[in-house]
Chain A
Amino acid sequence: MQLSLQYLSLRLSPFLFCLILILCSTVPLFTLPDYLYSFQFVYIPIFYYAIYHPKILSSWAVFILSLLADLLTTQIFGVYTFSYMAIFFAANFWRKYFINMTFKVLWGIFGLLALGVELFTYFLIWLFSDTSMTMYPIFVELIVLMLVYPLFISVCAFLDQKVRDNS
């Protein structure tokens, strides 16, 4: 019983980790001059689990998380669902190729993927709200995401290893 509870909590750990990252992204943790910044660190675990362990953070789980992100902000409803699912879909679709790639190559691919998703999100917001905004926060976010990528990947790999050890 104790073991199954431990296993269950470990199985839920990626979901809870993503949930915390989403909550962090909705509060203004970073106030820099001129613009608002919010960092979608949750892209990293979604990318990781879509490649290495899609059963533990399934498309359903990502959908629920993205829905929550959409409900928590005043952003156009569905924008986060779109961006999270796009990251998951792309990483999961090519996982056969991604799974054998080196860490550095995957790091670069993640950067390109995040940039693509962010630009498409920007386009969607422009389309739906008819307001052209500066792209500066997108590039700042991308740089920060690339810098913290190894740290968050290490956390994901650690949690994943624990689940594998206990299964």
Chain B
Amino acid sequence: MENKMFRLKRLHSQIRRLFPVVFLILALIMMVLWKTQNPIIADLRFKTVQFFAPISEVLSAPANWIKGIKDEFSNVVLLYHRNRLLEEENKNLRAWRALALQYQSEHNEIKKMLHYVPYPKSKTLMARLIMDTGGKFSRSYIALAGHENGLKSGAVALTDKGLFARIIEVGPRASRLMLLTDYLSRVPVTVGTKKIPAILTGDNSRQPKIIFTEEAEKIQVGDVVLTSGYMGIYPSGLSVGVVASVQEDKISVDLFESGEQLTFVRLVDFGLGSNLLQDDCGE
């Protein structure tokens, strides 16, 4: 009897030793499941984030407070310098405004003459960003708007500066945004006045990189990057950023909207949801 008990205990301890290996294998299976874009994972993730949102908000409060103080201090220090820069910029912008108004009227007339078919009417709503979660390699925001507000996966988040993120998961009252800097983000763009097609990919740094372009040598620092509208993920013509540096195999882009200190965003549904790839789950 004692011998049997001893054997059972030994067997039990041997099985227990195997658990970590089983869990390691399970982790690899989980990654494969994620790669197959299983909607259950997205749903579970979203529910977990919503559940822990109040705790995370409390935990991030001290960091936000310190960051706020730091920003306020640097604002005060740079006030005079910034004011002079703004005055200068304002002068230039006034000249540009006159030109833009002239172009706009010409543009409208040409559109009328060519019977231009515009994008389907977009739905816009403002939403508050409540928190962001992330790690070393990714970061995302949660916006306080969801199905109940008529929001759909695939809508884009804009600020007055330009494109900021895309909605990847939608819950009843909240949705998750994927930033342009995220390593999973891929945005079809055009670069410069020659409209060189390329893909903008996030790499965790604040400057996403331009990849998959056949005319990299034509891209120059200062070229404006706009969404191209290819693949139907983003509408064309949304402001993204400017080329910050061009090295041999690395073209970095300074985003117009870096996402720092954002409280509200404009969520715009351009009705491109049907064109979206399968990764948009949670609807």
Contacts and interface: CB of A to CB of B under 8 A. Distances in A.
Nearest to B179: A74
A64 to B, nearest CB: 10
Interface stretch (B74-82, B131-139, B240-248): B131-139
Contacts of A141: 136
A128 B31 contact: yes
Interface centre among A58, A62, A79 (most CB of B within 10 A): A79
Interface in A1-51: 23-31, 34-38
Given A60-B19, A85-B27, A23 B204 contact: no
Interface in B6-25: 16, 19-21, 23-24
Contacts of A29: 59-60, 62-63
Given A29-B60, A124-B31, A131-B201, A74 B133 contact: yes
A6 to B, nearest CB: 24
Contacts of A99: none
Identify whether the interface residues of B are mostly helix, strand, loop, or mixed: helix
Identify whether the interface residues of A are mostly helix, strand, loop, or mixed: helix
Contacts of B48: 68, 71-72
B55 interface: yes
Contacts of A62: 23
Given A23-B55, A24-B59, A78-B34, A137 B204 contact: yes
Contacts of B132: 27-28
A74 B138 contact: yes
A84 to B, nearest CB: 9
B24 A86 contact: yes
A137 B51 CA distance: 28
A74 B59 contact: no
B35 interface: yes
Contacts of A75: 135, 137-138
A128 B52 contact: no
Contacts of A81: 23, 26-27, 30
Interface centre among B21, B28, B35, B138 (most CB of A within 10 A): B138
A105 interface: no
Contacts of B55: 23
B60 A138 contact: no
A72 B140 CA distance: 10
A29 B135 CA distance: 11
A61 to B, nearest CB: 11
Interface string B73-107: 00000000000000000000000000000000000
Contact of B59 (A27, A31, A70, A131): A27
Given A36-B134, A72-B48, A89-B21, A133 B28 contact: no
B24 A133 contact: no
Contact of B135 (A26, A78, A128, A131): A26
Interface string A148-165: 000000000000000000
A88 interface: yes
B169 to A, nearest CB: 9
The 10 lowest CB-CB distance pairs between A and B, nearest first, are: A78-B30, A77-B34, A82-B27, A81-B27, A27-B60, A71-B48, A89-B20, A78-B31, A59-B19, A38-B135
Interface of A: 23-31, 34-38, 58-60, 62-63, 66, 68, 70-79, 81-82, 85-86, 88-89, 92-93, 124-125, 128-129, 131-134, 137-138, 141
13 contacts: A23-B59, A27-B133, A28-B132, A28-B139, A59-B19, A71-B45, A74-B140, A77-B34, A78-B27, A78-B29, A88-B20, A131-B203, A133-B205
